[in-house]
Amino acid sequence: MLTDPDEVELKTRLERATHMKIRGYEWRHLERQGLIRDYYGGMLGTWGDDPDEDLRAFVKSAFEQLQWLRATVEDKDREELGAAGQVPRVEPSNTLFSGETADE
């Protein structure tokens, strides 16, 4: 559970922008990947020059990471059920949401 108000707000903005509910293990994955640290450190997008663009860069990167993570979890679940060879493999979508941030 998130306790830092800034992270709670960032997660909420990410959920709104991607129209996805972010689970705890997914948020921890983004933390391990360094995306949250990079966002707060101003190392995404414009390197802190344009906060809106930095947020868009964070959302885009996080969305891609979450798509791949969810596809991996689905593959694992199918494999555990013995259905990996029976169910068509779904590739993560290369189509990003509308590209708008939660504030737009």
How does pLDDT run along the chain (104 residues), one tens digit per residue? Answer: 778 899 999 999 999 999 999 999 999 999 999 999 999 988 888 887 888 999 999 999 999 999 999 999 998 888 888 865 565 565 666 555 555 544 44
CB 96 within 8 A of CB 63: yes
Which three-class secondary structure state does DSSP give residue 99? coil
Tell me how far apart the alpha carbons of residues 12 and 74 are, in angstroms, rounded to a whole number: 24
